[in-house]
Amino acid sequence: MDTDQSAASPREETEDYYVEGDLMVFKAAYHLKRGSCCKSGCRHCPYGFRSQSPRNPDRNSTEKNKK
Mean pLDDT for 49-59 is: 60
Range of the domain at 36: 11-54
Residue 65 maps to a domain = no
Confidence of residue 63 (pLDDT cuts 50, 70, 90): very low
What pLDDT was estimated at residue 55?
A: 55
Q: Please report, to the nearest 10 degrees, the dihedral formed by the alpha carbons of residues 20, 23, 28, 33 taken in order.
A: 140
Number of separate domains in the chain: 1
Average pLDDT rounded to a whole number, residues 36-63? 73
Residue 32 located in a structural domain? yes
Q: What is the model's pTM?
A: 0.56
- Residue 3 belongs to a domain: no
> Does the pLDDT value for residue 20 go beyond 90?
yes
In a domain, 6, yes or no: no
User: Is residue 36 situated within a structural domain?
Assistant: yes
Q: Phi and psi of 19, rounded to 5°?
A: -100, 130
What region, left, alpha or beta, does residue 23 occupy, with left being phi > 0 and alpha being psi -120 to 50 degrees? Answer: beta
19, β-bridge pairs: 24
